[in-house]
Chains A and B, each alone.
Chain A
Amino acid sequence: MSAIGRVVRAGVGRRRVQTMVMLLTTMFTVASSILAAGLLVASYAPFDHAFAKQNGAHLSAQFDGSKASVAQITNTKNADGVTAAAGPFLTATAQPKLASGDNGLPAGMPLPQMTMVGRADDDGPVDDVTLVHGHWPTSAGEIALDTNYFEANVGAKLKFADLPGTPTLTVVGIVRSVSETADAWVTPAEAATLSAETSPTYEMLYRFAHAATTAQINADRAALSTASPSGSIVGTQSYLSIKQVQTTNTGAFVPFIAAFGVIGLVMSVLIISTVVSGSVGSATWRIGVLKSLGLTPAQVVRAYVAQAWIPAAVGTLLGIVVGNLLAIPVLNGADNTYGGAGLSIPLWVNVAVPLLALVLVACAAFVPALRAGRMRAAETIAVGRTPRAGRPRNVQRWAARLQLPRPVTLGLATPFGRPARSGALAAAVVFGTASVAFATGLALSLNGVQHGRSLDSAGAVTINTAAFPDISGKSITVRPGQDGTRTPADPAAVAGIIKSQPGTKSYYGTIGAQVQVNGISGLSEAVAYTGDSSWATHQMISGRWLSGPGEAVASPRFLTAAGLHVGDMVTVSNAGKSTSVRIVGSEFELSHDGMDLLTDASTFSALGIAETGMQYQVELQHGTSVTQYLDAINQQLRPMNADAEPVFRDRSSVIAAMDALVALLSIMMVVVAALGVLNTVVLETRERVHDLGVLKALGMSPRQTITTVITSAATVGVVGGLIGVPVGIAVHAYVLPIMGHIAGTTLPKADLDVYSLASIVALGLGGVAIAVVGALLPASWAAKIRTASALRTE
């Protein structure tokens, strides 16, 4: 082995802790970077990925079996433009109740109306659905639920009191269909049994050669109509409308996560640079010795870059493995969020990130090695040996006068003895604290955003006066054969029942319609509010919520599109009638691309829009049983063709996945920061081992030794926290509005001002915690070193 080889091997082997720190730092950095980069890549067009993976249906169509035979429906596969088709599948529609308690809900709890499709298997040329849990129904009495329908567990039992024989079906599978072609699936035989007493309805699923735009989908729909008996198609569903809803669901969060991924990468780069350059910088004296023995500056540089590179290379390899292993649960969570895109870490990420990390390590090691290599041998040998004058001594003198235990004051003054090293330690704490502060703010903001999104169903109970609502918040779907068979309930009568029902605390009603708004081309979605909605106001960006007739609020996007400002009057028209409303506030809105106009019910009255189809949100008095309330009020509502349902307070899977991801990346950043601290404190403790020996010889106990080392790190941790927390908050304040803008909205102040004084203090203490945790190991080592050996150390 060459001289340089021996130097490298000895250097790597001699400083085991440092080698291990460098290895672990690189491992965590590469792992977190792979995760972050992988997620960034996965965040790109997730719906399209999931849709392509499942051969999603561009169009699903419902056929009235009384107007078209199965053969005729099957023949639509040959319609112009159809490239693949599946079906016909017999369907049945019903509203089940939980026959057994499940997911924290009691037996008897009514569930939303569901459309069941009889399908023999889960794969096929179109809508190749993903089985998330359990298995596909293979026999009578079995049912598989779509993930969007209800978060049931496999084994749950659903009772269908309205269907022939009042069957009870057992949930045997949880399925994800990107095309959302059904709420549930049963065997074809089961579907036939369930729909025996109604006119048969069939579902067909299609893929088309051209289906990228609404116009193309409309053309495809027309081709289907041409290919099928007149009037037999009673409903169709375009994937574009699902994509719009899904994109609204996930798209709003993607930019935030992307921002965190980018920041995570930057933080990783900074921390690894600090650790590596600190390690090489600490070897300056040894470099001086090597030069005095005859090594050239180039050889020194090569030796020390290699010394940093070897553990980094091992760490990088481990990081690839760890990153990909961690990606499995994380991307599974994101996969649910993105509708089953089948996310995985792309190969190029597994190549590019490690290469970048190794180049970075080489660069980080090269600079201090080059500097040390160029120094004169005598100069490098003298580094760290010459007593330092000036500020450190003054600080020591000042610290010695403090009325604190001496081990504490010694620790307080220590960081000033080596400002550069303390700076490196502070940098690690700053990066870690800033990451956590930003991540905390991001999570709080995301939860705030989600809270804002859930205000449309703010109460515990939703009451529908027409058709069948979908609990997941999708647009109301009227199933064939059922519209027109029910007379819509009278909203005023329903309101009266709600008001008189024991347990009702407060309620309001909403109804949607499309209206013409002056300044906006085409029709706009408008939602009218009646009753007291003050307890469920949307998050306001400016102005105030509705408080009376003639008022409206809208999102900034809507106001910008219409050229309006808060305080302006705007004319709203419908079917030849017009009325003016005053914009009293700008609200946070993500649904319908933020292009809703929210107004008082009087506006619809003035426009002649009937209140038919009003949906009520009811807040219950404290202690009221939702099940009992529903049973009681439904006895009055159902004869009127109205229906009360519970509002499930499931935590959004989107938020849960994002929170989990943010938490994981934050933990990894904190670990990397703590490793940076560990590395620096190890170097510092090694250099001060003789001084520690002297102090121990004078009677410093192990506990006092630990106190000194921990205090030293904690002092820097306080400074790092004081810098890191504002940095994290500043990054949050800078990034979030930009990301909100990219998501097409303005975030409410409440979702931006998420840091309370308590959280800021806690985050600051987090900086101290990072420093203390990182210093624990070297402090314990310092306490254990043999005094006699330490005193012999030069």
Chain B
Amino acid sequence: MPLIELCDVTKQYDAGPPALANLSLTVQAGEAIAVVGPSGSGKSTLLNLIAGLDKPSAGTVTVDGLRVDAMSEAASAKYRRQRIGMVFQFFNLLDDLTVADNILLPAQLAGMARTKADARVKDLLQYLGIDRFADSHPGRLSGGQRQRVAVARALMNRPALLLADEPTGALDTASGEDVKALLAALNADGQTILLVTHDLGLADSCATRTIELVDGHITRDVSVVAR
């Protein structure tokens, strides 16, 4: 059973052409999908639909066996807590929480036992090499370090799917390379990843499959073997 399955998905915002038009897509567990395309092509819309942040105008979105498009707000929140990890271009860390508390947040929202959650945070801090920043606030970290914190937070609840929206978009070259390596390593460990990016280098370095969107249509779907 595919991890992600989109069937004839259309998303129409207002008047004008749809952001996504009759798009169908299947992603298997363990894949690392890079969605590329110009601005306005529908990349972020696709990511939002899969994350349950938005609903399609038509079609179905199924992730890990769940019909995301038919979920209530509460069910959608629970789905994100349990099955999805999200990484954003501008990190979206809460500045007044420490690094450890930021990472802990999804587990706390999910009601995970405190000792178990603390242990998981410790593991993630070590795994991502940011354990020395546990008690720091995000504002004092570099961009790359902040994105590592964001990745740690996204992985906190062991999500089936990691969604990343321009994860290197706000980083300098060195930090960007660092994040690319991190995502590749995560995928190598079996983490399914869907990332949206303008950065073809990122797609090349860590995606097992690249999808190009133009005007809401898939214009190219290339797996790493073909590449």
Contacts and interface: CB of A to CB of B under 8 A. Distances in A.
Interface of A: 387-389, 392-393, 396-397, 400, 403, 405-407, 413, 417, 690-691, 693-704, 783-784, 786-788, 791
Interface string B57-78: 0000000000000000110011
Contacts of A405: 108, 111
Chain B CB within 10 Å — which of A387, A393, A702, A787 has the most? A787
B64 to A, nearest CB: 14
A703 B95 CA distance: 23
Nearest to A699: B81
B74 A702 contact: yes
A400 B104 contact: yes
B215 interface: no
A217 B95 CA distance: 83
B54 A697 contact: no
Contact of B105 (A393, A406, A693): A406
A697 B137 contact: no
20 contacts: A389-B137, A392-B96, A393-B98, A396-B97, A400-B101, A405-B111, A406-B105, A694-B92, A695-B94, A696-B77, A698-B105, A699-B78, A699-B80, A699-B84, A699-B109, A699-B110, A701-B78, A704-B77, A786-B54, A791-B88
B112 to A, nearest CB: 10
Question: Could you tell me the dominant secondary structure of chain A's interface residues?
Answer: helix
Interface in B156-176: 157
B108 A697 contact: no
Contact of A788 (B54, B95, B97, B106): B54
B40 interface: no
B155 to A, nearest CB: 12
Contacts of B98: 393, 396-397, 400
Nearest to B108: A406
Contact of A787 (B53, B81, B82, B105): B53
Contacts of B78: 699, 701
B153 interface: yes
B101 A700 contact: no
A499 B52 CA distance: 85
B172 to A, nearest CB: 20
B50 to A, nearest CB: 12
Contacts of B195: none
Contacts of A784: 73
B101 A699 contact: no
Given A387-B95, A787-B53, A701 B74 contact: yes
Contacts of A387: 95-96, 137, 139
B53 A788 contact: yes
Given A387-B95, A406-B109, A702 B101 contact: no
Given A393-B96, A400-B101, A406-B109, A702 B81 contact: no
Given A400-B104, A704-B109, A698 B86 contact: yes
Contacts of A786: 53-54
Nearest to B84: A699
Q: Which 6 A-B residue pairings sit nearest by Cβ, starting from the closest?
A: A699-B81, A406-B108, A701-B77, A387-B95, A699-B80, A694-B92
Contacts of A392: 96
Contacts of B53: 697, 786-788, 791
Contact of B96 (A417, A787, A791): A417
A691 to B, nearest CB: 6
Given A694-B94, A704-B77, 7 more contacts: A693-B92, A697-B80, A698-B105, A701-B74, A701-B77, A701-B78, A791-B53
Contacts of B104: 400
A698 B101 contact: no
A697 B95 contact: no
Contacts of B74: 701-703
Nearest to A407: B109
Nearest to B81: A699
A702 to B, nearest CB: 5
Contacts of B106: 698-699
Contacts of A787: 53
Contacts of B114: 403
Interface string B33-58: 00000000000000010010110000
A704 B110 CA distance: 11
A696 B81 CA distance: 9
Nearest to B93: A694
A768 to B, nearest CB: 24
A698 B153 contact: yes
Nearest to A393: B96
A31 B153 CA distance: 52
A784 B81 CA distance: 18
A393 B86 contact: no
B46 to A, nearest CB: 12
Interface in B133-160: 137, 139, 153, 157
Contacts of A693: 92
A700 B54 contact: no
Nearest to A787: B53
A67 to B, nearest CB: 92
Nearest to B114: A403
A698 B137 contact: no
A704 B111 CA distance: 11
A786 B96 CA distance: 23
